[in-house]
Amino acid sequence: MKLYILPSLLSITLLILSCKERATSQKSDVAEKQLDVKSSLETTIDSVSNKKKAEIPQRRDYKYVIARSGLNYRDSPQGKILGKFPLNTRLTIIEYSKITDQIKEGEKIIKGEWVGVQKEKDTVYVFDGLLSYYLVQSDIKLYSISAFSEDTYQGKVERTSTAFLNLSETYFENTYNENGDKTKTSILSETDLTKDTIRLNQNQRKKLIHQLKISESDKVFVYLMKKDTVLSLDIQDLPTIACMNIYGSDNYSNLEDAYEFGFDFGKKITESDNLVYIGKEDPFQLGELRPIVWKQIDDSQFPVKKNLEESHFDMSTFKFSAEKYNYYLQKPLERAASYHLVIVDKGSNSIIFNEYYYDSEGTYLKKLKIEGDDSETPQSQWTGDLLKNKATVIFGFLGFSFGCPSITVLDETEPAIRILCDNRH
């Protein structure tokens, strides 16, 4: 689904829904051109001149940087370059200068206005032709299969759940974008809507494959993280099913969007730690993804000083080393409300990643696997070269009650890769 920025001062940051039996922007290759500096104002680096505000919005607006190479920010409209905001940085617009400009990208002319955005306590200026209400999405679509499972009681199997690749996010998004009204192209009949699970017939399957924008000649590649292996299955050999989700009505007064659509894998997948790609060629790089097992270290080794809020808490500090990077994580000792993750390039000794992860209404922090800890903590964090011809990735710090998880690519010119899940609630 497309992500919108609502004009609010608060922002709310995989549940893969299965059958009812279960417990449960567009890519933009816009590269920013360097605009001619039309101001001779002399300012110190990363400082801002006091300018008369042309127009202050009644309420603040939020947009994302869509320039792959990043977006320069300046001391004034068309002024001196102070720095650069990376791709998909969320900016708060606090001033409209009414100074318009344009840049040329190939044969395309991009027009826009210089706007003031908040940077810490300062106002800096950017060209809004390279801003959007939508995040730049990765061109790679990944999914995850909910594994086959059996519920037993006193040694007897009472209920089984098939391994299921839920493609509802893509199906409903594509259907809505093309038609505006999902009911006009409904796959399921009125009789189907009285059932819990429907095995799609040939005509229904054809419609589903079409709306997913895939082909019967494509393959499903399933990367099993713990085994570091890839299973390859032909789409033409996989049954398609629709099953009622947990929001479906018990009295069967349902519409099609009360169902989940996807492929039935039967007993083929029994591991929940998996990633899935649909296409012609296998994108996964074997032998390069590493489970992160943290080693506790002294707080003084953390490469970033505590901020004012953190200074009030005792912290636990951890480190993990891989071939190219050192990973540092710090969290409050008495409460796990946040993780502060810093990644340092071993070659240049420079910080390439510095982010916080928080508990929120829709997210929760996943537990850390720590050296010497005898508890059965599941392996959640991973890093390495997951995909061929892509930079190193890292993921597994947040679980989601609402929304879908994503994989961070350690390259500022690459957007995060969403693991598409059924994001209806």
Exposure string of 27-46, with b = 16+ CB inside 10 Å and e = fewer, is ebebebeebeeeeeeeeeee
Domain topology for 61-132: SH3 type barrels. (2.30.30)
The residue that leads in pLDDT, 319 or 422, is 319
Block residue for tokens 């299973």? 231
Instruction: Name the helix (H) or strand (E) containing 205.
Output: helix 202-212
Kindly indicate the confidence band of residue 17, based on its pLDDT and cuts at 50, 70 and 90: very low
- Per-residue pLDDT averaged across 124-153, rounded? 94
Q: Where are the domains of the chain?
A: 61-132, 142-279, 289-420
**What is the pTM (predicted TM-score) of this model?**
0.80
The residue that leads in pLDDT, 245 or 168, is 168
Kindly indicate the confidence band of residue 225, based on its pLDDT and cuts at 50, 70 and 90: very high
Mean pLDDT of the chain: 85
- Per-residue pLDDT averaged across 347-351, rounded? 97
What tens digit of pLDDT does each residue of 262-279 get?
999 999 999 999 999 999
* Distance, CA of 279 to CA of 147 (rounded, Å): 21
- pLDDT over 50 at 6, yes or no: no
Beta-strand relationship, 219-224 and 145-146: unpaired
Q: What is the pLDDT of residue 296?
A: 97
- pLDDT over 50 at 223, yes or no: yes
Handedness of CA 295, 298, 299, 304 (dihedral sign): negative
What tens digit of pLDDT does each residue of 190-201 get?
888 888 899 999
